[in-house]
Amino acid sequence: MSTSPPQPASLPAPAIRGTITTHPLVGVAGVLLGAMTATFTGRLISVGLADLRGALHLGVDEASWIGTAFNAALMFIGPFSVYLGGLLGARRVLLACAALFTLISVALPFAPNLPTMLVLLVLAGLTAGTFYPLTLSFVLRNLPMRYVLLGIAMYAMDIVFTTNFSTSLEAWYINHLSWHWIFWNSAVLTPVMMILVYFGIPWQPLPQPKPGQPKPNWRGFLYASLGFSLLYIALDQGQRLDWLNSGTIVGLVVSGIFLLIVTAIRHFRMPNPLINFKFLARRNTLLLGVVLIFFRFVLLATVIVIPSYLGSVKGYLPLQTGPVLLWVALPQCICGLLAMYLLKYIDARLILMAGFTLVAIGCLMNSALTSAWSGNNFWLSQAILATGFAFSFNGLVGAIILEVINTGALTRPIDVLTFAGYFQTVRLFGGEIGAAFMQHFIPIREQFHSNILGLGVQLGEPATYQRLFGLGAGVASHSSGSATAAGRAVEILGLQVRQQAFTLAITDSFLLVAWSVVCCLVVIACMARVPTQYQQVVTAAGPA
């Protein structure tokens, strides 16, 4: 394993540009719109799950499979997209999958029952899941280097903005249109993507293997994709099914690990020409994958932690939670452009460290919350988190692209596909590990604090008696008698204890994210400095 990329002798433009299309910016806009559409769909389903349950008359257990079906299919097609892109070319795959995804999105609200909807969601995930890995590989090989910093900023804003804007969009759809638009949103955006891809990515003949090179094989990709998907389902359903106490979860985990072991054995016995694992065995590449997992985890501060507090403690609906998350989404435009400008002059690792440090500061500010906080109390911390997310994700994407440039992979399509497939798998699987851990962590900490608080609330204690007496007096006028008022007072006290316990669990979650940032900073410090920085790349590419 090499510890630092080879030193390039020069930076000739053709070497770092790869294959340039006739309308590269149109093609890049198309694939970025595809990535945004896939993100929108997943987030709208997650945020709108309660509305889908109500509209479709589903129970909690039944509805939980709606998001799992779509996201597990995204996980499946991530590694498999490398095979499809190498076999058929990005243009064919994107146009075919986008057309199918549009039709499926139109049909989803008309599904007659849950099994039919789950099948359609799996098909939607299989088609939309090709957008991400093929987006990264196309942008890396086709965006002129003079636009590379702008491309980084657009990609980063695309992901972070969409993630935090989806709550407001879903609330607007429910209040002004209908729940059908949770799916129809994609049906509107995807045809626009198809037009941009059609005119922006030129037609190319089917890739042919070189003489003597083994033919591409789909079995290894199938085993890997299925293995990761089974593990993803286990993570997504683990909290609901009580993890390893469930035979379903144990079966999913064992099957998934077995398939990944089979994949590794098969690859070493019969290497696939469409993937180059040796290219990934670099210090910076592996560490950037770890940093991506950390970024997906810290993003949960706004995706899970804040919405959980506002919904459970303050009783906020998505329409009320949306504006709070917009304080993270909207500043991305300005902060992203600033980060893009700084990347030209500052090492991407420093941008990364500055961004994650700001995230830690924002989480430490939020860890001081009490049950009296409302959405307005998060204004300053959200502004700091928005800046931190913009800097950290722009720095992360910038460091990833610099790694590709310095390895010379832009002249080797297979390495670019391998790189894109690797980061798509890390993004989805690593993100689900973080989400599953956080969803397990919050209930555990809530139970711990509830037990601690309960020790101080004992019947017969003077403080408890005084509290119950005050609560009973407050509800006496709305009760049929003193016994009823006393019973209601006990219920209210129990709710107050649970509210405080949940609030303390949320503060623990913010502290957990802050400490994870410390670990991430250590990982970033272990990354090697690449010889070619963006200032040299942009200078070599010439004026825009």
21-211 against 275-544: fold identical: yes
Q: ∠ at Cα 469 (463, 473), nearest 5°?
A: 150
pLDDT of residue 18: 42
CA dihedral 169, 171, 174, 176 (to 10 degrees): -70
Q: What is the pLDDT of residue 177?
A: 92
Instruction: Give me the tens of pLDDT residue by residue for the chain, a chain 544 residues long.
Output: 344 444 443 444 433 344 444 577 788 888 888 888 988 899 999 989 989 998 999 998 999 999 999 999 999 988 777 677 767 777 888 899 999 999 999 999 999 999 999 999 999 999 998 887 777 667 767 777 777 777 777 777 777 778 888 888 999 999 999 999 999 999 999 999 999 988 888 777 776 656 555 566 677 788 888 999 999 999 999 999 989 999 999 999 999 999 999 988 887 887 777 677 777 888 999 999 999 999 999 999 988 999 999 988 888 888 888 888 887 777 777 887 888 888 888 999 999 999 999 999 999 999 999 988 988 899 899 889 989 998 998 899 889 888 888 887 777 777 777 787 788 889 888 888 999 999 999 999 999 998 888 776 665 566 665 666 565 566 656 666 666 666 666 666 667 788 889 999 999 999 999 999 999 999 999 999 888 888 777 777 665 5
Whole-model pTM: value is: 0.85
Quick one: three-class SS letters along 315-341? CCCHHHHHHHHHHHHCCHHHHHHHHHH
pLDDT of residue 481: 62
Residues ≥6 apart with Cβ < 8 Å to 32: 135, 139, 154, 155, 158
Q: List residues bridging with 2 in a β-sheet.
A: 282
Residue 62 identity: E
Residue 378 is encoded by which pair of tokens? 């998060």
Listed residue (524, 518, 516, 522) closest to 349, CA to CA: 524
Q: Give the per-residue pLDDT at 14.
A: 38
**Residue 336 one-letter amino acid:** G
Give the pLDDT of residue 11. 42
Q: Which of 230, 186, 198 is nearest to 94 (CA)?
A: 198
- Predicted local confidence at residue 119, as pLDDT: 96
Sketch the domain layout of the chain as residue ranges.
Answer: 21-211, 217-272, 275-544
Residues 221 and 75: their CA atoms lie apart, in Å, by: 12
Q: Is 450 helix (H, G, I), strand (E, B) or coil?
A: helix
Two tokens at 327? Answer: 């304080």
Instruction: Choose the CATH number for 275-544 among 1.20.1250.20, 3.60.9.10, 3.30.200.210, 3.40.718.10.
Output: 1.20.1250.20
pLDDT of residue 152: 72
Residue 433 and residue 416: Cα distance in Å, rounded? 25
Report pLDDT for 488. Answer: 65
Question: Which pLDDT score is estimated for 463?
Answer: 60
Is 21-211 a domain of CATH 3.40.640.10?
no
